[in-house]
């Protein structure tokens, strides 16, 4: 099974590296870092942050905006697209284990999706070292781990949607819908309105805790804004209940757990349903 998992992962990595979406994807994340350097972001100062820390803070905010939709759309497009084009019919006629195939695809995709994000950060660190700027390794590792959790989470959702939808159009539509709903339930949009409408505190806290994008956003800001001055009221309420440490643990465990749950559900449906 492990052999099939690795064969499937290798196949998916090679397919992704050849695909146009990956080129655009890698260019976007590399380009963000390059642009941030180019516009002299490391020279600016916000809330006491300057240098690479300042750049990383901006980078992670931008990642939150574009990473989930990128991961969702590319995953559902390629997986549902492969099925629609008849690729599943042929490759699954070979004696590959379904477990190895599905999780290998997930693993391969995770590597191709996460690597450009991480490499862009590493490139920024290398450039900062070259320029003689201090590298905040704790912040670097924390953000890398947060991005890993976010990537895994949306990859799991993407795999589930790909299994549920039988055509690219439906899969893509579903992916966009999920992203839009999660985006709306960020603290500054719907959660803020809910608080204004005096909806029960528990409901608001639950929504904020269950929205992986909100969890990521809050956790990312915690490092440079422990009082969450910049955030809306929902995150403030959450911190009162959980504390900083508790929330950071939740910010890693929940997205990875939720992504894994979605992927496992997708696997169960994939294994039980018609394959092509």
Partner 1 sequence: MIQFENVSKKFRTVTVLDKVTLNIQAGERIALVGFNGAGKTTLIRCLLGEYNHQGTILVKDQAARKQRQQILAHVGFVPQLPPPLKMPVGQLLQFAADLCHSQVERMRKIGERLGLDLDQLWNRPFVKLSGGQKQKILISIALGRDSQILIMDEPAANLDPEARRIFFSLLDECPKDTVMLISSHRLDEVAALVNRVVEMDRGQIVLDDKVADQVNLSHQLHCQIQFNRNEDAFAKALQTWQFSSDEQQLVWQGQIAGADRLRFLGMISRYAGLLAQVQLEEVQS
Q: Contact residues for partner 1 (CB under 8 A)?
A: 3-4, 7, 11, 14-15, 18-19, 85-98, 272-276
Phi, psi of 49 (to 5 degrees): -95, 135
Rounded to whole angstroms, the Cα distance separating 231 from 118 reads 26
Among 144, 154, 151, 137, residue whose Cα is nearest residue 59 = 144
Closest contact distance (angstroms) between CB of 9 and partner 1 is: 12
Q: Which is nearer to partner 1, 98 or 164 (CB)?
A: 98
Angle between helices 212-222 and 233-272 (to 10 degrees): 130
User: DSSP secondary-structure letter at 134?
Assistant: P
Closest contact distance (angstroms) between CB of 160 and partner 1 is: 19
Closest contact distance (angstroms) between CB of 50 and partner 1 is: 45
Rounded to whole angstroms, the Cα distance separating 136 from 79 reads 38
Q: Which is nearer to partner 1, 93 or 141 (CB)?
A: 93
Q: Which is nearer to partner 1, 14 or 189 (CB)?
A: 14
Strand intervals (E) in 67-224? none
Q: Two tokens at 15?
A: 């397919």
Q: Which is nearer to partner 1, 12 or 187 (CB)?
A: 12
Closest contact distance (angstroms) between CB of 20 and partner 1 is: 10
Q: How many CB atoms lie within 10 A of CB 76?
A: 28
Closest contact distance (angstroms) between CB of 81 and partner 1 is: 9
> Is 139 within 8 Å of 56 (Cβ atoms)?
yes
Q: Which is nearer to partner 1, 233 or 276 (CB)?
A: 276
């Amino acid at each position: 099974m492990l052999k099939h998992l690795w064969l499937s992962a290798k196949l998916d990595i090679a397919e992704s590296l050849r695909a146009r979406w990956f080129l655009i994807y890698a260019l976007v994340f590399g380009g963000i870092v390059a642009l941030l350097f180019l516009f002299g972001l490391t020279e600016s100062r916000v809330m006491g942050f300057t240098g690479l820390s300042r750049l990383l803070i901006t980078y992670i905010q931008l990642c939150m905006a574009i990473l989930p939709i990128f991961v969702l759309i590319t995953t559902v497009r390629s997986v549902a697209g492969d099925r629609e084009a008849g690729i599943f019919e042929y490759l699954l006629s070979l004696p590959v284990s379904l477990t190895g195939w599905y999780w290998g695809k997930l693993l391969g995709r995770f590597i191709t999706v996460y690597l450009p994000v991480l490499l862009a950060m590493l490139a920024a660190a290398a450039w900062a070292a070259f320029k003689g700027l201090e590298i905040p390794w704790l912040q670097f590792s924390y953000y890398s781990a947060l991005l890993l959790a976010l990537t895994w989470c949306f990859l799991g959702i993407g795999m589930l949607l790909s299994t549920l939808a039988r055509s690219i159009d439906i899969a893509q539509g579903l992916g966009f819908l999920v992203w839009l709903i999660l985006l709306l339930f960020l603290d500054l949009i719907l959660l803020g309105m809910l608080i204004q409408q005096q909806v029960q505190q528990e409901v608001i806290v639950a929504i904020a805790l269950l929205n992986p994008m909100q969890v990521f956003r809050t956790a990312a800001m915690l490092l440079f804004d422990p009082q969450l001055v910049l955030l809306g009221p929902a995150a403030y309420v959450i911190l009162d209940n959980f504390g900083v440490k508790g929330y950071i643990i939740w910010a890693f465990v929940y997205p990875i757990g939720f992504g894994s749950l979605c992927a496992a559900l997708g696997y169960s449906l994939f294994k039980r349903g018609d394959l092509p």
